[in-house]
A = this chain, B = another copy of it.
Amino acid sequence: MAASQPTWEASMSADPEQACPIAPVVDIVFSRWTTPILWALHQYGRQRFVELERRLTTITPKVLTQRLRQLERDGLVARTYHPEVPPRVEYEITELGASLAPLFAHLAEWAATNLDAVEQSRHTYDTAQQSRPR
């Protein structure tokens, strides 16, 4: 049994992103386009590929497909194929995906409270660039 367990040293040195306990979930939930997609599905309910495409105006079908596949694989989104002519495919958020709602609300709350401070900091940083000790 013990032999199959990675040592502390190995588990720490292997992948530093794993040393950060939230790193795995960040890849799942916060990779590019995932939050706008999940948001759209959560906000407007089950909808077709083309509806999503129109809502996320700047996304290309290729990328939308990639992201939806990933979300489907991770169990956050469900895909339903209707074999009609023309074909109809609907996407909806799963229960697992919907379980992220409180987390997103928490994030929105942090943003509401602290986004101004971030903007302020950026402005200060940017305008102080001249004559700055590095």
Contacts and interface: CB of A to CB of B under 8 A. Distances in A.
Integer count of this chain's copies in the complex: 2
A56 interface: yes
A91 B2 CA distance: 38
Q: Which range contains the number of A residues in contact with the other chain? A: 35 or more
Interface string A106-134: 11101101110110111001100000011
B118 A74 contact: yes
A62 interface: no
A125 B73 contact: yes
Given A23-B36, A28-B118, A30-B26, A72 B16 contact: no
A46 to B, nearest CB: 18
